[in-house]
Amino acid sequence: MFPRTFLKTISAQQQTIRHLCNNHWQNGGGAKSENPTILITGGLGQLGVECGKLLRSQYGAKKIILSDIREPSNAILQAGPYHFVDILDPKGLEKVVVDNKVDWIVHLSATLSAKGELDIPLATKVNIQGMHNIIELANHYKLRLFVPSTIGAFGPDSPRNPTPNITVQRPRTIYGVSKVYAELLGEYYHHKFNLDFRCLRLPGVVSCDLPGGGTTDYAIDMFHSAMTKGTYECYLTPKTTVPMIYITDCLRAINEFLVVPTDTIQRRVYNIHAMSFHPEGLAKEIQNYYPAFEITYKTDPIRQEIADSWPEVLDDTEARKDWGWNPKYDFKKMVQTMVDQVKVFYDEEPQRAKVAQ
Ligand SMILES: NC(=O)c1ccc[n+]([C@@H]2O[C@H](COP(=O)([O-])OP(=O)(O)OC[C@H]3O[C@@H](n4cnc5c(N)ncnc54)[C@H](O)[C@@H]3O)[C@@H](O)[C@H]2O)c1
């Protein structure tokens, strides 16, 4: 028989452990799946604003917290919570996560490919140090973490058509190097600490919103120029082919992938693909809507070199097989939708449209 005081001590210890476990779970231990509070970094960027809208329509406005280092419009402030947070400030990030009991992070802050080549120290800080801060935080509080990667994570040594999910990755931009770092770091934390890290390699994203300094931005610029000026001078050569995706498909992929049960995911990093086209092909299709539209070419050596090192087609067989990825916008449907949506953009968002001109 054990003395009564000994049994009491054991029972108190068990209660403490149970209490700690409960607390850990409530605080996100094992990354909460139901009704999550989600922090979006880079929430005012090309993807962030629309991603915020989609997730809010699904989880509720108050559950989605946008953050960025830019001044938000009144419309953004009225739509739901917004915090000014620099991802290079770990304590500021932690405060937002703790104060709001965040369960998942969708980490969209980044310095993109073309902009990164013009300011390598900035890209290194934002994409590598920032990623490090985010992953440490996600690991500490056991949050689910989504980070987009890119076609820029491949380089001239990778097979270009198609580019497999697993292949050699020797990118030649700081953006690509930092995205490979993010992919590998996420996989490492997953295997070492069981972090629920999820990553999709996105093609260039086509949307009405103003792009943030990527190499595939020409496609968006061409739609805006076709409508406002009737001409466009393209910085890539006519036949430069890269994978692209319409934003609705891109955000649907992120939204669906975020909730795939963890035991059905065979990998933590997946290629997704939707369509591939080149500037000449896009211009021809736009001419079906604006017959007088004219394209000229003046190659920008930095962006041309980047695009020439990227895949032409991503092989997304594994994403299709493992969690049912299936794009709904092909090239023709994307162009038709963009032509319509750019008109709406100029009618409904005159302030933002002014910046686009
Ligand atoms: N747009 C694309 O075609 C594309 C393609 C593949 C992958 N991605 C990835 O998707 C993500 C979002 O891309 P996007 O096109 O919306 O980019 P974007 O440039 O439009 O937005 C990035 C946002 O990050 C913010 N940011 C920059 N530095 C920051 C810092 N220190 N702290 C907090 N926020 C900071 C910027 O203010 C900006 O609003 C990025 O990770 C990008 O690599 C984008």
Tokens of 176: 């690509």
Q: How confident is the model at residue 227 (pLDDT cuts 50, 70, 90)?
A: very high
The pLDDT of residue 10 is above 70: no
Index of the ligand 1 atom closest to the CA of residue 109: 24
Q: Please name the residues in contact with 114: beta carbons below 8 A apart, sequence gap of 6 or more.
A: 213, 214, 215, 217, 302, 303, 306
Residue 3 is predicted with a pLDDT of 45
Q: For 271-275, what is the mean pLDDT?
A: 98
Q: Which range has the worst mean pLDDT, 2-11, 130-139, 258-267? A: 2-11
Pocket test for ligand 1, best of 41, 44, 46 (most atoms within 8 A of CB): 46
Pocket flag, ligand 1, residue 48 (CB < 6 Å): yes
Give the pLDDT confidence of 326-341 residue by residue, as tens digits. Answer: 999 999 999 999 999 9
Using DSSP's 3-state secondary structure scheme, residue 219 falls into helix
Atom of ligand 1 nearest to the CA of 175: 43
Q: Are 11 and 123 in contact (CB under 8 A)?
A: no
Annotate 277-291 with b (16+ C-beta within 10 A) or e (fewer): bbbbebbebbeeeee
Where b means 16+ CB within 10 Å and e means fewer, 52-84 reads bebbbeebeeebbbbbbeeebeeebeebbbbbe
Q: Tell whether the model's pLDDT for residue 72 goes beyond 70.
A: yes
Return the number of other C-beta atoms located less than 10 Å from residue 51's C-beta: 26
Rounded to the nearest 5 percent, the helix, strand and coil shares of the chain are 50, 15, 35
Structure tokens at 53: 């809208």
Q: What percent of the chain is modeled with pLDDT above 90? A: 85
Could you tell me which residues come within 8 angstroms of residue 255 by beta carbon, excluding any fewer than 6 positions away?
Answer: 54, 55, 58
Question: Which of 108, 125, 270 has most ligand 1 atoms within 8 Å of its beta carbon, as the pocket-test mutant?
Answer: 108
pLDDT at 12: 43
Q: Atom 23 in ligand 1: which residue has the minimum CA distance?
A: 42
Q: What are phi and psi of 35, to 5 degrees?
A: 45, 50
Binning pLDDT at 50, 70 and 90, where does residue 23 land? Answer: very low
